[in-house]
Structure 1
Amino acid sequence: MESTVKNKKLPLPYIRYIIDAIIVLGISLGTDFLGRLIGPSEIGFYCNDRSIRYKYQEERLGNGFLAFYSLIPNFILVFIVETYRILRIDGIEEFSKYEVGRSKAQRIFVRVATIYGYHTASIAAVGFICNTVKYPLGILRPHFLDICRPNIGYDHCNTTELITDYHCTSGLTGQIREARLSFFSAHACLCIGSATFAVIYLQDRLYGCLYSDVILLLIQSAYFCSSLAVACTRILDHYHHPYDVIVGALVGIVVVTICKPPKMSVDFKAAYAALVQGLQNQTRLPSYMQSDDDFDDACSLQVGWSREQSCNYVTTHYDNCEGGGYLPWTQIIYCQPTELTEVLLLLVSIFWLLQLFILLAVSADEFLSTNITTIADKFGISQSVAGVTLVAFGNGAPDIFSAIASAVSDESPKAGLAIGQLLGGGMFITTIVVPVVIFIAPIQMDPIPTLRNLGFYVVALLWLGMILFLRNTLMIWQSVGFLFIYIVYALTVVSGRMLLRLQKWREAKDAMFVRPSTGHPNRRESHPNTISGTLANLERSNTIKPAASSESSMYSRAEDDALPCQDVSLQGIALDFFNRLNCINVEEFKNASIYLKIFQIFQFPWMILLTLSTPLAQPPWCKALTSLHVVVSPLFLLFAFQLFDSDIFGIQFPLWAMSLILSGILLAFVLLFTKVNQEPKYYKLIACCCGFVVSVGWVYVVAAEVVSAVQMLGVLSHLSPEILGVTILGWTNSIGDLVADSSLARQGYSHMALAAAFGGPLFNLLIGFGLSFTIALLQGKTVEIDVDIEKIFMYGFMCISVVGSLTILVLSRFRTHKFYAMLLFCVYFLFMVALILAETVFRGS
């Protein structure tokens, strides 16, 4: 009996559907025709009103695109969702056939037609309201004066009164009529209305039907944000005022909400409460995205434990509570006899963390980057290749080595900390540094390098999303995939540079046959048009960052000396040695600001320590310092990579003893076969290579200690590693980029600053994630990546930032506007609000 009811043929009231369609079409076309027949109201204007004096430009997204966007995507959406419900939820048997006269119709087509009919009816209602308001009001568009060119008040404005007695002199009748139809925006009304219908429809038809309701939230957010981007183009094209777009969006939301299908009821309050509960418990995530025990890899100190219990816990759970550095900070803090001692040590640890950030900046900028640029020069590496490899590695060393330290320096890789730092730093640069540069100097960006950088960024984020949402255990091929994407990116940059040079060579060759030679050699272009040229300029100006500024650079004076020390006496050698250790110029120190003085005082002991252990090729030859490097540098490398007490091939002979033997042989060679006042032939080449290796060791050691201190602060504050990565690590590692790129923009190099702002985070993500976890997996470690709400928010907002920037720049023809900068600021603000909610509301803490 039940089967008979399901297979019963239902009569379809198709005549009513046809009449409804005719009424909807008649209302939509009739109001538009009537408005065009009567014409808009002709109101006056104030000639000093700057809001209507914008230049006219062709609209990017016209009425044809508007019709397509408001109708076609939702039809595809409805068809896909209804098909999904047939196959996965409702079942085939639920879709009995309808009778249309003597013909049969599948129920799915009837359902699609019914739902989509309500959508088209709502779009027609929106169009009716829009035309009903536009024509009677006749509000002027921002480019009205440029289109109309009135005989009064256009060239000369000598009155503050309303001008009503005027006539347009441009002769553009159709465009003048359109220029009086500003309020409100039909693009915003229809696009936002279509997005509202899609959000309500998806919430009604798919809520509770997917693996995770967060996926549904991301789909709805992406749909709505794309519609918002389309609406904002009307402001960028000077077709609408901001309030036109805002009112149009509100009208679209209200009308579509009223015109939704009567059976489509959505309780957003209950849906939000269920979503929050699901995010707290993570019960809606599929089983393969959940670990067996969410607290196995966390340092779970309980509130109310005694000092002895906490100390025993952090001691027995060393791998979970420590960050893998050389000092067990969590154990040091919790295993103190009194609370006063604990507080004092906590203050000391915070001061130590600040010192570590200074040491990290100095070791990366003064030593690692300097040796990298020298290697590129000595080995004749082209600027395009060096720009995307060595120079990018030097500029991103703090981020990369912090990620490597969080993955390699501990038996339990801190994947959440690495992801938080890389995505947090990327968010800070793309939504804070980029808009700051735009506010300083808006420019016309170069299309090809911008598309390349953002395009590869999108590919990298898609690969990261596949890793996050596929399974909770990282595989070797997934981490290697990031390195492969980087290789393709580097090859693209290098090949693009080679093609550009080939094109210029052909143009120069053709010019030789067109015009006679002037006797002047061809000059290279001074402003780079590609990211490779930008990075090449960054290579030449690598001392822009604060830690490597000319005022604080240790070797800003030493390079002025053309020759090594000429005084071969013992006193002259000692004086030359101590001059190398003196990194503060007294005259520059007196003229420096108070902040720079404090910074130089704090970095002074670290500069001495780095100078005593790290070779540099830029200053002149110093025999005494080189002799010290021969002994100290190998021992430091063994300490940095934790090989100090390791044996050689199983023989009971430690590496530190072997290092001393080899260093003694090299020391004898330096003392016997080199001169004090004459630099050896291959000294600079050997010094830059050895200095590069030692600098890498220094950056790795400091990064590991930073991760350890940050892990301790996370245990004390009960904050997740993702939040710590976004805030402490992300902010501190990105402050240098903010200062450097804003300084470049003030000097007129905004192209270079924006190229570095988009290319730097991409390099850090590909190398920082790919290299660090590839090394960890090759060591036999298991990398667990549990998908929690923080990672979802970080990944989602990072996608919004990159894809949104790509969309807006393409729609604005790569012209940066302050409106775009404000949107980026808002994205970062919402990102931080979401993370705060994730730590408080969603986690229930």
Structure 2
Amino acid sequence: MNNGTCYLFDNLTTCDIPRNWTADCRCDYVTANPDLCEGGGYIFYTTMVSCQDPATRGLLLAGFIIWLLILFLAITVAADAFFSPNIAGIVSYLKISENIAGVTFMAFGNGAPDIFAAMASVVGSDTPKVGLAVGGLVGAGIFVTTVVVGSMMLVKPFEVMRRPLMRDICFYLFSVLFSAFVFLYSDFLYLWETVGFLVIYAIFAAVVISGRVIRQRTLKAKANRDAKGAAAVAHSLPISTVAGQLNGHPDIINALTRDDTADEEPEWNFEPILASGYFSSIANGGPAGHDRHEDDITKLPPRTQFTAVFEDLLTAVFPIDEDEWQGNLVERIFAIIKAPLILILKLTNPQAGNHWSKALAVIHCFTCPLFAVAAAQQLGMTLFDSVPQLQLWVLSLIVGIIPAILVLVFTSFHQEPRFFKPFSSFAGFLMAVFWIYSLANEVVGVLQMVGVVSGLSHEVLGLTLLAWSNSLGDLVADIAVARRGFPKMGISAAFGGPLFNLLLGVGMPFTIAVVRHGGPIPIIFSNVSKVLVAFLALSLASSLVLLLVQRFYAHRWHGAYLLALYAAFLVVTLLVELGVIFNGGPSDES
């Protein structure tokens, strides 16, 4: 490798390009090793940047950074506006209890960006990007449990919920320690280890569900006893006496008339899903406030028919939300930026909460199979290997013709079919999965390119760009919730959400990778990864101790400590990445 000489197959485990290589050597290396140097998306970002002259390379790099921001936004929109509402539709249709849905479907909806990013990092290519997955999941956990929680404490001190918060922190700390054991145990990841994460999640879900059931039964029994006692006292006294005694004690009246579950604090933050109106929309058979006239469109003149159909389609796919447009200037600009993304998603992804549009349903009959085929190929499915590409696309179009004819013949323009809500929920859920995974693959591809060009490790990219992009929304939302006087809701989600993401974000993709590999997969637990796990464990353990010392009251100095801890984490990580401390350990690329 001296004097710029390049050896194309010098390292077959990482995309490690010495800085003294010429541009031709870099291009030849990344072209010869796509599994090592690319992220598994549709675009070969590393090859495109590495095989250009310096001026063009700089322009491409800047353009791809902007593209990365668009991808992050697209994942957020797909998860919030399509994935989560369709999950809500499935929960409503299957009549799944709130207790079970809260720690399964709804938690999965909230953690979709993190989980699918980890999935794309591990199974998106033949060479798992373990460091990127671990960096994203653990880095997001550190950010949320320090910066987000600390910011809420600085906004306003508050009393925390003892039982659910202790449970979440203890399970989270145990999961982090189990992660450290798994990754330090050997240089290979075995099936029993990956399944262990899923088992811990199953135990956690069982504890949460059983705890809620017991809590609800206890509250109900207490309310019944209080009601019987009040009735007995009221029956033994004259009405005027009871009324006179209670007249000066409004707190007693409120206690007797309030809801049985008023003391039950929300343990998981599903406010975006619940506030969206999808539950009420699904239950009522259509979106709130949407009146559909029943005139038969076929009785109109042909030109008027076309206009009515076009207006109906335009209403169904219009990408700007009326409430956002009525907001301030920033909200309007953001709505305009999101509009092209929402339009594309609406044309390829059914929504459970949308009103019935026959024209859009026909379009979905063609766009859904086409995009499903493209996404399935990116997932690496071998089902279509024997079918030529052109025939595959033609076949997907033919498959769409059959349901399109059924929709045209057997459905009305203005009367929603009985099967529309459940079918759109399940189909929309599947298409949202394809969309988020495909977008996450592109994110991994861009991050891989940034790592190759800059020399930064996967872990550093994961704990910075990937973790920050997936967690900034939590920071803004939870601070807003704290300012409105509901910090308990935010701090509960700040520990329960990252715990869920860690268990499923490691358990699901690594289990798939081990099964596909046919045995244990090699991993490298770098020094940066060790710093990640150590600081996350320190954050959780110290918060647990400090909350106990403060008698479960979060003071501002606790928040300041958490922010200082995150700053120290960034400094130590930078020193380890530069080799100033812990030099000589395993490579940070994995």
Q: TM-score, normalised by structure 2?
A: 0.86
* Residues 505 and 591 of structure 1: CA distance in aligned 2, closer, same or farther (over 3 Å): closer
Q: How far, CA to CA, are the matches of 1:707 and 1:565 in structure 2?
A: 49
Which runs of no fewer than 5 residues in structure 2 stay unpaired? 1-8, 235-252, 278-285, 298-304
Residue in 1 that maps onto 2:300 = none
| Alignment partner of 1:761 is 2:498 | yes
Q: How many angstroms does 1:821 deviate by? A: 0.8
Residue in 2 that maps onto 1:606 = 341
Q: How does 1:496-645 map to 2 (within 5 A)?
A: 496-516=211-231, 523-526=259-262, 528-529=264-265, 531=267, 534-535=268-269, 539-541=273-275, 559-563=288-292, 568=297, 569-584=305-320, 589=325, 591-593=327-329, 595-642=330-377
Which runs of no fewer than 5 residues in structure 1 stay unpaired? 1-292, 544-556
Q: How many angstroms does 1:340 deviate by? A: 1.8
Q: How far, CA to CA, are the matches of 1:562 and 1:585 in structure 2?
A: 18
The letter of the residue matching 2:453 is L
Give secondary structure in 1 for the equivalent of 2:377: coil
Residue in 2 that maps onto 1:664 = 401
Residue in 1 that maps onto 2:34 = 318
Give secondary structure in 2 for the equivalent of 1:642: helix
Q: How far, CA to CA, are the matches of 1:621 and 1:586 in structure 2?
A: 19
Residue in 2 that maps onto 1:722 = 459
Alignment root-mean-square deviation, CA: 2.7
Q: How far, CA to CA, are the matches of 2:337 and 2:273 in structure 1?
A: 27
The answer to whether the 8 Å contact 1:442/1:817 transfers is: yes
Residue in 1 that maps onto 2:89 = 374
| Alignment partner of 1:797 is 2:512 | no
Q: How far, CA to CA, are the matches of 2:264 and 2:337 in structure 1?
A: 37
Q: How far, CA to CA, are the matches of 2:510 and 2:456 in structure 1?
A: 23
Give secondary structure in 2 for the equivalent of 1:779: helix
State the structure with bigger RCO (CA 8 A, min sep 6), 1 or 2. Answer: 2
Q: How many angstroms does 1:645 deviate by? A: 10
Q: How far, CA to CA, are the matches of 1:744 and 1:645 in structure 2?
A: 41
Q: How far, CA to CA, are the matches of 1:415 and 1:564 in structure 2?
A: 55
The answer to whether the 8 Å contact 1:623/1:675 transfers is: yes
* Residues 310 and 766 of structure 1: CA distance in aligned 2, closer, same or farther (over 3 Å): same
Q: How many angstroms does 1:296 deviate by? A: 3.7
Return the match for 2:572 from 814, 831, 834.
834
Q: How many angstroms does 1:525 deviate by? A: 3.0
Residue in 2 that maps onto 1:210 = none
Q: How many angstroms does 1:490 deviate by? A: 0.5
Q: How far, CA to CA, are the matches of 1:800 and 1:561 in structure 2?
A: 51
The answer to whether the 8 Å contact 1:644/1:656 transfers is: no
- 1:324-381 CA-partner distances (Å, limit 9, x unpaired): 1110000001112x32222221121111111111111110111111111222222221
The answer to whether the 8 Å contact 1:424/1:725 transfers is: yes
Residue in 2 that maps onto 1:442 = 157
* Residues 606 and 516 of structure 1: CA distance in aligned 2, closer, same or farther (over 3 Å): same
Q: How many angstroms does 1:560 deviate by? A: 3.0
* Residues 388 and 747 of structure 1: CA distance in aligned 2, closer, same or farther (over 3 Å): same
Return the match for 1:456 from 161, 168, 171.
171
Q: How far, CA to CA, are the matches of 2:86 and 2:174 in structure 1?
A: 32
The answer to whether the 8 Å contact 1:428/1:731 transfers is: yes
| Alignment partner of 1:386 is 2:121 | no
Q: How many angstroms does 1:415 deviate by? A: 0.4
Whichever structure has more helix as a proportion of its residues is 2
The answer to whether the 8 Å contact 1:383/1:536 transfers is: no
| Alignment partner of 1:681 is 2:438 | no
Q: How many angstroms does 1:320 deviate by? A: 1.0
Once the two structures are overlaid, the 10-residue window that deviates more, 376-385 or 360-369, is 376-385
Q: How many angstroms does 1:647 deviate by? A: 7.2
User: Larger Rg: 1 or 2?
Assistant: 1
Return the match for 1:788 from 526, 530, 555.
526
Give secondary structure in 2 for the equivalent of 1:459: helix
Residue in 1 that maps onto 2:24 = 308
- 1:478-525 CA-partner distances (Å, limit 9, x unpaired): 011000000000111110111011112222332343222999986243
* Residues 652 and 410 of structure 1: CA distance in aligned 2, closer, same or farther (over 3 Å): closer
Q: How far, CA to CA, are the matches of 1:624 and 1:641 in structure 2?
A: 26
The answer to whether the 8 Å contact 1:565/1:573 transfers is: no
Q: How far, CA to CA, are the matches of 1:429 and 1:651 in structure 2?
A: 46
* Residues 609 and 539 of structure 1: CA distance in aligned 2, closer, same or farther (over 3 Å): closer
Q: How many angstroms does 1:756 deviate by? A: 0.3
Give secondary structure in 1 for the equivalent of 2:228: helix
Q: How many angstroms does 1:587 deviate by? A: 8.4
* Residues 585 and 371 of structure 1: CA distance in aligned 2, closer, same or farther (over 3 Å): closer
Q: How far, CA to CA, are the matches of 1:762 and 1:562 in structure 2?
A: 43
* Residues 441 and 565 of structure 1: CA distance in aligned 2, closer, same or farther (over 3 Å): farther
The letter of the residue matching 1:386 is A
The answer to whether the 8 Å contact 1:398/1:733 transfers is: yes
- 1:249-271 CA-partner distances (Å, limit 9, x unpaired): xxxxxxxxxxxxxxxxxxxxxxx
Residue in 1 that maps onto 2:68 = 353
Q: How far, CA to CA, are the matches of 1:644 and 1:710 in structure 2?
A: 19
Q: How far, CA to CA, are the matches of 2:372 and 2:111 in structure 1?
A: 21
The letter of the residue matching 1:668 is I
Q: How many angstroms does 1:308 deviate by? A: 1.0
Give secondary structure in 2 for the equivalent of 1:570: helix
Q: How does 1:99-248 map to 2 (within 5 A)?
A: none
* Residues 537 and 335 of structure 1: CA distance in aligned 2, closer, same or farther (over 3 Å): closer
The letter of the residue matching 2:315 is N
Residue in 2 that maps onto 1:426 = 141
Residue in 2 that maps onto 1:743 = 480
Q: How far, CA to CA, are the matches of 1:721 and 1:522 in structure 2?
A: 53
- 1:416-464 CA-partner distances (Å, limit 9, x unpaired): 1100001100000000000111122221111110111011011101210
Give secondary structure in 2 for the equivalent of 1:300: coil
Q: How far, CA to CA, are the matches of 2:84 and 2:487 in structure 1?
A: 22
Q: How many angstroms does 1:651 deviate by? A: 6.1
- 1:150-184 CA-partner distances (Å, limit 9, x unpaired): xxxxxxxxxxxxxxxxxxxxxxxxxxxxxxxxxxx
* Residues 347 and 382 of structure 1: CA distance in aligned 2, closer, same or farther (over 3 Å): same
- 4+ aligned runs moved over 6 Å, structure 1: 517-522, 643-647
Number of residue-to-residue matches in the alignment: 537
Q: TM-score, normalised by structure 1?
A: 0.61
* Residues 722 and 334 of structure 1: CA distance in aligned 2, closer, same or farther (over 3 Å): same
* Residues 644 and 745 of structure 1: CA distance in aligned 2, closer, same or farther (over 3 Å): closer
Residue in 2 that maps onto 1:186 = none
* Residues 838 and 295 of structure 1: CA distance in aligned 2, closer, same or farther (over 3 Å): farther
The answer to whether the 8 Å contact 2:372/2:434 transfers is: yes
